[in-house]
Amino acid sequence: MMKPPFEHSLNRSGVIVRFTGEATGNWYWLVDLLQGLDIEVSLANPLQIKAIAYARVKTDKVDAKTLTHLLRTDFLPTCYLPKPEQRANRDLLRIRAGLVVRRTQFKNIIHGVLEKFNINLPYSNIWGGVGHEALDKVSLPLPYSEFIKQILVHIDHLNSQISYWDKKIQAQIPLCIDAQRLLTVPGIGNIWALTIIYESGPITRFLRAKHYVAYAGLVPKTRATSDNYWNGHLCRQANMYLKRAYMEVAIVALKSRGLDIRMVHYYERIKRRKGIGVAQVALARKIAMVIYHMLKQEIDYDTCMARNRMAG
């Protein structure tokens, strides 16, 4: 539950009442209630409050006192609070994204079963058309044959659900000007454009492109000691919806053959040195940086790349 420290002077003469609490998964109702009462609300990022994260004594009373002190001195690390309409649109996109993730998990299960028996179907897509027909004809012993049939039922159900939410999104979320700009980026369609816009929020809240790509979870953990320096895995303390969007965009952009040639060369160079996985992350990071500048400068993809060529 959210810890409720207030900084206020209670009277009826129009004094501003300020509230802060740690951001949790159930903050919607409380924020809406307080804002409806004209109370200024700030949500604290618990990962950035070292006084709480590393405290030896952790109780609600101690945490509330710390939050109140940080709020009063304007040192409180806060989270972005979207408006209710923006929040609803973002969650609509998240619902669809969650269904896509589950469908991918089921597809991976089927791929795993086929690999157990060294079955390699000669189709790039086994989920539709002749590929699906070939999958239906695969002969497997029990219980695998029945298991695959059940998984395919789940996939068909998820396909219908995803199609339903696609129509909902198309009807309820208009393509704003910024989203239309993102459609000029190779690999980005309506869903990814809207996802990037609503998950990013106002781009002006990020001072630099590196702050934005870190928020998107595309920057590896860095460790350094004396003369030694190395990068680790990608940080998980990030917006995972935004990260997934950029990773998918990078993969589709490579297939579309519409990327700027310098970005393609950059991808190929890293692929030769470190492998396809690291190269895809690096390309996703590059695309995120380009989109940051597009949104910041209010320009399309071609104009942004042309300015980069002139500057570089």
Torsion of CA 24, 28, 33, 35, to 10 degrees: 90
Distance CA 267, CA 273 (A): 10
Is 21 within 8 Å of 30 (Cβ atoms)?
A: yes
Gap between the terminal Cα atoms of the chain: 51
Return the pLDDT at 256: 84
Count of CB atoms situated within 10 Å of the CB of 261: 8
Counting as low any pLDDT under 70, the low residues of the chain are: 1-16, 50-58, 221-233, 311-312
Distance CA 302, CA 7 (A): 49
Residue 143: is the preceding peptide bond cis (ω within 30°)? Answer: yes
Name the nearest CA neighbour of 206 among 295, 82, 88. 295
Q: What is the pLDDT of residues 240-285, one digit of tens each?
A: 999 999 999 999 999 888 888 999 999 999 999 999 999 999 999 9
Q: Look up the pTM and report it.
A: 0.85
Return the pLDDT at 30: 86
Q: What is the pLDDT of residues 210-240, one digit of tens each?
A: 999 999 999 876 666 656 656 666 777 789 9
Is 238 within 8 Å of 217 (Cβ atoms)?
A: yes
Number of H helices, E strands in the chain: 13, 5
Name the nearest CA neighbour of 43 among 8, 15, 71. 71
Is 66 within 8 Å of 121 (Cβ atoms)?
A: no
Question: What is the helix (H) or strand (E) element at residue 41, kind and residue range?
Answer: strand 40-44
Torsion of CA 3, 85, 193, 177, to 10 degrees: -130
H/E/C letters for each residue in 100-117? Answer: HHHHHHHHHHHHHHHHHC
Given its phi and psi angles, is residue 187 left (phi above 0), alpha (psi -120 to 50 degrees) or beta?
A: left
Return the pLDDT at 6: 45
**Phi, psi (deg, nearest 5) at residue 38:** 60, 35
H/E/C letters for each residue in 178-238? Answer: HHHHHCCCCCCCHHHHHHHHHHHCCHHHCCCHHHHHHHCCCCEEEEEECCEEEEEEECCCC
> How does DSSP assign 138-192, residue by residue?
----TTHHHHHHHHHHHHHHHHHHHHHHHHHHHHHS---HHHHHHTTSTT--HHH
Return the pLDDT at 220: 79
Which tokens sit at 213? 């790509």
